Amino acid sequence: MITAKLLGARGEMSVVLRIALLVVGVLLALGLPWYIYPPVAMDIAAWALFAVALDLLLGYTGLLSFGHAAFWGSSAYATGIIAIETGLPFYVAVLGGSLVAALLALPIALLSVRRTGIYFAMVTLAFAQLIFFIANQWRDVTGGENGLQGIPRNLFGLDLSDSFYFYYAALPLILLGLFVAWRVVRSPFGRVLVAIRENPARARALGYPVDRYKVQVFVISAFLAGVAGGVYAVGHGFASLQEVYWTTSGKVVVMNILGGMGTLWGPLLGAGIIVLLEDYLATAGIDAIGIVTGSIFVLTVLLFRRGIWGSVAYLVNSRRAGPVPVTPAETKPRSQPTERV
């Protein structure tokens, strides 16, 4: 059977299948602006990296951050300010913005990881609201409700005013970010993250300081969210309050759950679907974007909790009657009597 060949002994994808997927993914990324309106293609790429950044926390560590807009948004502003004030190549501006996001994430992580489950989500949301408030009030720097306008697309004097070319200029940053996420997941560190997700008390008994690991992955995740947010801001030429608003945090969670968290490919898929859907609805003049994406979210949670990618992987695997693939949704909210809440 072909699926048996494509899947390894342990129900994981074989090397052949993984490489094939990678090739398809890269080709898709390279071809995107040819068949999708280039600014929309750029949005998909930025959101895809953002969603994968969140997956490190949500899917691989079992932490639901409901405040990731804080990092996407703070980097959007910081990137914009650096680009406007210094005129440096936007790669440098994005890197600077991402570092700001990571620095901001450190104290937030230190205070949030002491909580788990819904409490963790609430604490991260509260911090994100605080950042929103600051961005709204600090008009001299952020432009308040007007947003930060006129972010330039500088890159060694190249003319990137056409979004089609800007997409290819920005794509390496996105792909690099995705590579970092993949490296983190498939590292000794990533193995510990999964252990923490599955059973934090056990991980501690094996000598792993769980909270320190959570802080580290939180900061990495915020940095990658910052890369995505920075690219997004340069792509649009402005950074607005929308970038730090809680709906942005919610949207990236929806992308993860729809696509299938804990799979890396799933959040990419989720980002593509949500961005395209929003674009389609907006062009069609339908205002009820929230209702449509909200309904899709509810249906996903009710009918296929593994998300699209997770469900397909599960179906392919169960046909072989092999071991079940990773399904974080089922393992996460288990009572852990010995863990502090």
Partner 1 sequence: MLETRGLSKDFRGFRAVDDVDLTVERGTIHALVGPNGAGKTTLFNLLTGFIKPSAGQILMDGKEVTGLRPEQIARQGVARSFQITSLFEHLSLLEHVELALQGRTGQGYHFWRSDKTLRRFRAEADHLLEQVGLAGYADVPAGSLAYGRKRALELALALALKPTLLLLDEPTAGMSVEDIARTVDLVQQVREDRTVVLVEHNMKVVGDLTDRVTVLQFGQILAEGPYEQVRNDPRVITAYLGESVA
Q: Which residues bind partner 1 (CB under 8 A)?
A: 9-10, 183-184, 186-192, 194-195, 198-199, 201-210, 213, 216-217, 220, 323-324, 326-327, 331, 338
Encode burial over 273-309: b for 16+ CB neighbours within 10 A, e otherwise. bbbeebbebeeeeeeeeeeebeebbeebeeebbbbbb
Minimum distance between the CB of residue 240 and partner 1, rounded to whole angstroms? 33
Q: Contact at 8 Å (CB) between 105 and 229?
A: no
Angle made by CA atoms 77, 82, 84, in degrees to the nearest 5: 95
When the beta carbons of 180 and 252 are compared against partner 1, the nearer one is 180
Minimum distance between the CB of residue 339 and partner 1, rounded to whole angstroms? 9
Minimum distance between the CB of residue 47 and partner 1, rounded to whole angstroms? 23
When the beta carbons of 111 and 204 are compared against partner 1, the nearer one is 204
When the beta carbons of 144 and 322 are compared against partner 1, the nearer one is 322
336 by Cβ neighbours in 10 Å (0-12 / 13-18 / 19+) ranks as middle
Minimum distance between the CB of residue 205 and partner 1, rounded to whole angstroms? 6
Minimum distance between the CB of residue 92 and partner 1, rounded to whole angstroms? 22
Minimum distance between the CB of residue 329 and partner 1, rounded to whole angstroms? 12
Minimum distance between the CB of residue 58 and partner 1, rounded to whole angstroms? 16
When the beta carbons of 154 and 317 are compared against partner 1, the nearer one is 317
Minimum distance between the CB of residue 328 and partner 1, rounded to whole angstroms? 9
When the beta carbons of 293 and 327 are compared against partner 1, the nearer one is 327
When the beta carbons of 207 and 285 are compared against partner 1, the nearer one is 207
Per-residue HEC secondary structure of the chain comes to CHHHHHECCCCCECHHHHHHHHHHHHHHHHHHHHHCCHHHHHHHHHHHHHHHHHHHHHCCCCCCCCCCHHHHHHHHHHHHHHHHHHCCCHHHHHHHHHHHHHHHHHHHHHHHCCCCHHHHHHHHHHHHHHHHHHHHHCHHHHCHHHCECCCCCCCCCCCCCCHHHHHHHHHHHHHHHHHHHHHHHCCHHHHHHHHHHHCHHHHHHCCCCHHHHHHHHHHHHHHHHHHHHHHHHHHHCCECHHHHCHHHHHHHHHHHHHHCCCCCHHHHHHHHHHHHHHHHHHHCCCCCHHHHHHHHHHHHHHHCCCHHHHHHHHHHHHHCCCCCCCCHHHHCCCCCCCCCC
When the beta carbons of 249 and 327 are compared against partner 1, the nearer one is 327
When the beta carbons of 61 and 249 are compared against partner 1, the nearer one is 61
When the beta carbons of 285 and 337 are compared against partner 1, the nearer one is 337
